[in-house]
Amino acid sequence: MSKTTVSASATGLPSRRLFLASGPAAAVLISLRKAAAEESPLSALIERHRVAYAEFNDACGFADFIEEGDPAFAAAAGKYERLNKVEDALMDELLAFPVKTLEDGRTKAAYLAQHFERGDPQHYQFDAFMRSFLV
């Protein structure tokens, strides 16, 4: 057996310092990935509003086909009013939700732009949206 040494030619980490510094960096990346994987409160609120708006919209469509004298009219009108209040409350909560990160701002603005394609926001809604960025 020969006693010749073979030098390692690895170039992945040029120094021991770089290797030691990569530990904390990896911990930061892992925690960022974990935070990104958790659902944000804003995303959950948007989803709740999306569902409430769809239910309200369905109630509107159903109520359009019922005559005022029909016995089902009172029940449909009650359902319409209840769903309208739920959707309005969630919209107010969404508009007032404080924007703390750039991602929250983008998410909120994108959802509201898509939502308000159906109609213009009221002045108070626009005001609440703008104030949510002043946190």
Q: Tell me the whole-structure pTM to 2 decimals.
A: 0.65
CA distance linking residue 96 with residue 119, whole number of Å = 19
> What is the pLDDT, as a whole number, of residue 106?
94
Going from the C-alpha of 45 to that of each of 5, 28, 59, 91, 123, the distances in angstroms are 64, 28, 21, 9, 22
The domain segmentation of the chain, as residue ranges, is 16-131
* pLDDT tens track, the chain, 135 positions: 566 665 655 555 566 665 556 666 666 556 556 555 567 899 999 999 999 999 998 888 776 777 878 888 888 888 889 999 999 999 999 999 999 999 999 999 999 999 988 887 888 888 888 888 887
CA distance linking residue 30 with residue 64, whole number of Å = 52
Nearest to 87 by CA among 55, 119, 127, 121: 55
CB-CB contact of 79 with 124 (8 Å)? no
- Backbone φ and ψ for 88, nearest 5 degrees, come out as -60, -45
